[in-house]
Amino acid sequence: MRNYIGISIMTVVVITVLSNIGIRYYFIDYIQKQYAKSDKEIISYVNNSIETDGLLDQRELSYLRQQARFKNVEVLLRDTDQEIIFNSSMGMGMNSGKGHHMARNIYRDDYTYATQSIFYEDEVIGYLEIGHSKSVIDSKADNDFIYAINVLYAVSFMIAVIVAVILSILFSKRLTRPIIAIKNSTHHIAKGHYDNVKHVHTDTLEVHALATSIQELARQLNEQEQLRKRLSNDISHELRSPIAVLRSQIEAIMDGVLEPTHERLSKLHDEILRMTKLINDLNELVVVESENLPLHMERVHIKDILNPVLDNFVPLMDSKQITLHRDLDSPLTIMGDKDRLKQIFTNLLTNAYKYTNEGGQVWVQLCQENDKAMIRFKDSGIGIKEEELPYVFQRFYRSDDSRSRKTGGAGIGLSIVKELVKVHEGMITVDSQLKKGSVFTIQFPLIK
């Protein structure tokens, strides 16, 4: 704040000094122009008077003396021998062209003189000299004016400094208050207290943008923290449940309480498979989220990959009496990894199968929109709540825990799909209505 006040004061000082210099310069220029105008009037008067008879009478000299005093100048008339025959300051004059001669050199040291020849019938009959004070600002009125200007600037300077200091203090408080609030917010974020980050009110656009970014960061970190906790709980639950079942069953068999029947061993095998799938899904998610995901990118026709995947799902759909519709446009070419694309389509069709009731319908559409290949997976399933749509691609997110466990899902499949779509420079969106179904739309950039 001190630096800001110092800069404000220096700015006021510079403006004040420059303004004072500017006014003084233009005032002096104005006076010099007035001098030139005054000299021109005196020269014109003398020339007009001489033209009549070549002489200046006493009345004309008296008028010339009055004009010299009024204009604050000194007027000298010399004859051709350079003898002074009239001096407005000394009150001497000439009568009928013949006056008293004075000393040749009576110039005042504090005056500057300009000489003008006087002609009569094309002959030089004398010289007119007009003297001005070397100090342009010479009269009392001129000095009073400059003094008044300086006083006005001094007062204005003091007022401006006071106003600058007051405004600096007010502005600095207005600026630093939200910055301090933002600093406190960052401290809360560093400590993990995301709920303590409050909205900061400010009219400064840059500070407002920063505050909004900090608040959004806190919101996202809070979501990630909640997701991390949920992830830990889900992983522990998903692993604990099959392990607990396996342990209890095996201990019972070892104690002779249960017989190792085929049915019982089959259930234990199912739990092992479930746990293995979860671990494999976790490993797959880590792989696709890493920057070192191995991809074999080549020109592929989406239809050539999608059709076989759909064919594989026909028996599965028939087992639940689900009608599978396909509307595949002419071959659309993209750059992609065949295996990863097949994985994307398989995951989405698996979701559609799991969450569509018996007798339902699933639609798969492939078409071109502008320079994009659009693939839509639509089902008549149970749908997703509107408030849960932004989270469906997050790891381990399940809109209905009981439903997910019933279908064997751990909330990882869609996260994998999103990452795989991203590495293909594509985008995936979801639109859903509860109890009416969902639509997952993928768009990939086409190549020619």
The CATH number that applies at residue 240 is 1.10.287.130
Same domain, 27 and 46: yes
pLDDT value at residue 95: 38
Q: What is the percent of the chain where pLDDT is above 70?
A: 83
- pLDDT tens string 108-138: 666 778 888 888 777 888 888 888 776 655 5
Same domain, 255 and 380: no
Give the CATH number, domain containing residue 349. Answer: 3.30.565.10
CA-based nearest residue to 425, from 318, 311, 336: 336
Same domain, 327 and 210: no
For 178, the token pair is 């939200």
* Residue where a domain terminates, one of 289, 320, 355: 289
Same domain, 437 and 306: yes
In a domain, 163, yes or no: no
Same domain, 269 and 314: no
Same domain, 363 and 314: yes
In a domain, 10, yes or no: yes
Same domain, 265 and 359: no
CB 324 within 8 A of CB 364: yes
Q: Is the pLDDT of residue 438 over 80?
A: yes
Q: Is the pLDDT of residue 223 over 60?
A: yes
CA-based nearest residue to 66, from 37, 45, 96, 97: 45
Same domain, 88 and 20: yes
* Residue where a domain terminates, one of 141, 175, 195: 141
Same domain, 392 and 357: yes
Domains of the chain: total: 3
Confidence of residue 309 (pLDDT cuts 50, 70, 90): very high
Same domain, 248 and 302: no
- pLDDT tens string 225-257: 776 776 677 677 667 777 877 888 888 888 888
Same domain, 271 and 404: no
In a domain, 155, yes or no: no
Q: Is the pLDDT of residue 91 over 70?
A: no
**Cα separation, 340 vs 344, whole angstroms:** 6
In a domain, 223, yes or no: yes
* Residue where a domain terminates, one of 268, 289, 310: 289
SS3 for 323?
A: strand
Q: Is the pLDDT of residue 313 over 90?
A: yes
**Cα separation, 323 vs 327, whole angstroms:** 13
Specify the pTM. 0.48
Confidence of residue 271 (pLDDT cuts 50, 70, 90): confident
- pLDDT tens string 129-166: 888 776 655 556 666 777 787 777 778 778 877 887 78
For 281, the token pair is 């899904």
Domain that holds residue 390: 298-445
- pLDDT tens string 394-420: 776 666 544 444 454 556 788 889 989
In a domain, 169, yes or no: no
Same domain, 325 and 237: no
CB 324 within 8 A of CB 353: no
In a domain, 174, yes or no: no
Neighbours of 335 (CB within 10 A): 15
In a domain, 249, yes or no: yes
In a domain, 424, yes or no: yes
Rg, the chain, Cα only: 50
Residue type, 128: L
pLDDT value at residue 399: 62
Q: Is the pLDDT of residue 94 over 50?
A: no
Neighbours of 368 (CB within 10 A): 12
Q: Is the pLDDT of residue 99 over 60?
A: no
Confidence of residue 422 (pLDDT cuts 50, 70, 90): very high
- Min mean pLDDT across 42-46, 105-109, 146-150, 385-389 is at 105-109
Give the CATH number, domain containing residue 28. Answer: 3.30.450.20
